[in-house]
Amino acid sequence: MSRLLIKNGTIATLGQGGRVLDDHGILIENGLVRRIAPLEELSAVEAPAIDAHGKLVLPGLINAHMHFYSTFARGLYKIKPSANFNEVLRNLWWKLDRALTLEGSYVSALVALLDGIRKGTTTFIDHHASPTSVRGSLSRIAAAVQESGLRACLAYEVSDRDGPEVAKAGIEENAEFIRACQKGASNGDSLLRGLFGLHASFTLSDETLKKSAERARELNTGVHVHVAEASSDEESCRKEHGTSIVERFAKMGMLGPRSIFAHGTHLGANEIDLLAQSGTKLVHNPQSNMNNAVGIADIVNMSEKGVCVGLGTDAMTCNMFEEVRVATWLAKLNCKNPSAGFCEALGALFSNNAHIADEYWQEQKLGRIVEGGAADLILVDYNPPTPLDSRSLLGHLCFGVAESAVDTTIVGGKVLMKNKQLQLDIDEERLAAQARELSAKVWEAF
């Protein structure tokens, strides 16, 4: 039996009835949180201990919309200037993803995953595209996930933009990977999960959508798709299909609690109602929306209407603390009200992302520290300069903790980073050199 004791820190459990506990410890046993108890009750326990003095113990953070492969876009200076979102896709992302090899998919993912460990992000819901090397791409990324020790739910983005053969390969890639994950999960694999990925309404024919939705249903899973990221996506849907995107997807049977719709920057009232009624998850990506100048998703209105709004980064960063701060400022600005948006933005990361993860990792109870749940924990350097309790916690998280350094990252009881040093058998210098070499080749496409 493997055991680990976390002691002397302040624990913020989050989750329902979340508590802030001083003078408590967490006993981890075989990857699970076995006990959360006062230190004197745990004093007789024999286990290696981590001293969390001067640190806040939090559940590992969850990024609900990510693209690992965008690692290779960092510093890419040769992109033609774009006047709108469709040009951003054509001038940057669709050139980059076509140049990605299986090796590139693996290396770019591993770099992002290690960054996740450093930033305290322990679970990623990723969306992948590599149209010239579709088959086998998800299992290569899965290998990187396993090496990192983090959790990830992977999807391949099916699209008709590269022709029918590539679309077909994407459907098969999703189906095969989801089946492998389901088999893995029944054999106790708790790191990897699969979702059926689709690009966006404007690059998907009815035929491809129908086939994909059918396969997702057969596999008893949801879809992970971009929805109304730019206004042009809605305009093209109305023009081509005479309906809104969410109505189009609803007709295909793509809505439901396990489906993730990313962005939702330009949803109409009827679409928001459909998301709320069906329990479809909406994932907000504020930094990306600002970077692409596509608009602001109204998370306050969507939350009021009953939509479960989570938070992703769309690969702008692996740092969820950074994203949640931006989400907070942007929601206030959007409402032109300094008292609005705080709870919706903080709730997206610290509460709703856990609900989203529950759809794929039911037993693990990710995103909160609870007895019987997975021991996915982070220790953040933090000496609160004002009283810290359950009433002040969100304020501390947003204005203080979010700017502090993550010291220790633990997933499933395994210590992946300690004293800010990765505890993995990975040569990071070599990995970075490999990434530079592969990305330089990708950049030749520009």
Binding-site ranges for Zn ion (CB under 5 A): 314
Q: Which is nearer to Zn ion, 34 or 226 (CB)?
A: 226
Closest contact distance (angstroms) between CB of 283 and Zn ion is 9
Name the residue number minimizing CB distance to Zn ion.
314
CA dihedral 444, 102, 178, 360 (to 10 degrees): -70
Closest contact distance (angstroms) between CB of 31 and Zn ion is 31
Residue 386: φ, ψ to 5°: -135, 165
**Rounded to an integer, what distance in angstroms lies between the CA atom of residue 254 and that of residue 274?**
11
- For 143-157, b/e burial (b = at least 16 CB within 10 A) is ebbebbbbbbbbbbb
Q: Which is nearer to Zn ion, 193 or 263 (CB)?
A: 263
Bridge partners, 10 (sequence order):
56
Q: Which is nearer to Zn ion, 154 or 397 (CB)?
A: 154
Closest contact distance (angstroms) between CB of 117 and Zn ion is 22
Question: In 194-313, which residue ranges form alpha helices assigned H by DSSP?
Answer: 206-218, 231-241, 245-251, 269-278, 286-291, 299-304
Q: Which is nearer to Zn ion, 258 or 263 (CB)?
A: 263
DSSP-assigned letter for residue 373: S
Closest by CA position to 190, among listed 101, 261, 123, 112: 123
Closest contact distance (angstroms) between CB of 365 and Zn ion is 27
Q: Which is nearer to Zn ion, 173 or 314 (CB)?
A: 314
Closest contact distance (angstroms) between CB of 424 and Zn ion is 27
Closest contact distance (angstroms) between CB of 355 and Zn ion is 20
Closest contact distance (angstroms) between CB of 70 and Zn ion is 9
**Rounded to an integer, what distance in angstroms lies between the CA atom of residue 232 and that of residue 158?**
19
Q: Which is nearer to Zn ion, 311 or 378 (CB)?
A: 311
**Rounded to an integer, what distance in angstroms lies between the CA atom of residue 91 and that of residue 336?**
34
Q: Which is nearer to Zn ion, 4 or 327 (CB)?
A: 327
C-alpha to C-alpha distances, 155 to 134, 340, 355, 432, nearest whole angstrom: 11, 34, 19, 25
